Structure formats: structure tokens, C-alpha cells
Amino acid sequence: MYELTIEGTGTFEVEEGTRLVRAIEECGVDIGHRCGGHSQCTTCRVTFEEGEPGVMTEAEHEKLTDIGQRGEMRLACQVVVDRDMTVTPLMRVEDQGWDDAGPETAVMVEPEAEWFPIETLDDA
């Protein structure tokens, strides 16, 4: 188990390997996941205050590069909890005026995930 601290909400015990977007939601925070966790919508965006993984999926790297936000935020649907983390969800249902957060996200990261050190993706 690891400690997940969500700024403004609290600290929670989370099972290792839990998809971050699901962990945040299970902690009662209405984080967006409007594409259902496929690294397309970017509404699961978070900033890390602590514990940011040094690895990233190609899908996340490509999407963050597309929107010019690489190094500024991470996509919680592409991250799994593998250490203590402190995060701030940036797009929440109550702030955005959505009817809901989006389609349920799968337990496993989609597209099927392989993680690479961020610097190797930057150099590719």
C-alpha cells in the first residue's frame, strides 16, 4: 500500500498498481475522465507535488506533446500508483459543469501500457 495525498482532500491508502485516475476517484474526488481513460481527452490531468514517476507511456507523451503541456502536468489515466504520491487534480466535474466525470475507466491502463523513461521519449 502507498499513501496518496490529494491536495485539499486528504491522504489515503492505495493498493500498489492502482491506476491513478481510479485511485483519485475512489478517494471521493470527481476527477474528469471524459475519454474513459484512453489518453485522449486530457481531463484526468494532474500536477504532482511529490512522487511523480520518471516513466511515461508513449500515449501520454504524445498527447502532452500535442497540447504543449509536457513537463507541466501528467495524465492520471496513464499513471499507476507505485510509490507515495501527492497530486492535484486540475479538472473536476464540479468545476467544469459536466453532468458526469466520463465513461468508467478500465482497471488496467489503456492503450496497453509500456512505460519508458521520460528522457528517452523526449529524445526519440
- Confirm if 105 and 32 have CB atoms less than 8 A apart: no
The residue within the footprint of ligand FES, chosen from 5, 18, 29, 43 (CB under 6 A), is 43
Closer to ligand FES by Cβ: residue 24 or 44:
44
The residue within the footprint of ligand FES, chosen from 6, 24, 44, 80 (CB under 6 A), is 44
Pick the piece of the chain touching ligand FES (CB under 6 A) from 1-9, 10-18, 39-47, 86-94.
Answer: 39-47
**Minimum separation from the CB atom of position 6 to ligand FES (A):** 16
Q: Under the criterion CB under 6 A, does residue 40 sit at the interface with ligand FES? A: yes
Half-sphere exposure (Cβ direction) of 123: Cα atoms closer than 13 Å: 5
Closer to ligand FES by Cβ: residue 14 or 109:
109
Q: Under the criterion CB under 6 A, does residue 41 sit at the interface with ligand FES? A: yes
Find the residue with minimal CB distance to ligand FES: 77
Q: Sign of the CA dihedral 124, 114, 33, 3?
A: negative
- C-alpha separations of 59 from 42, 54, 65 in Å: 11, 15, 10
**Residues 6 or more apart from 80 whose CB is under 8 A from it?**
17, 18, 19, 20, 109
CA pair distance 75, 63, nearest whole angstrom = 9
Binding site for ligand FES (CB under 6 A): 33-35, 37-44, 75, 77
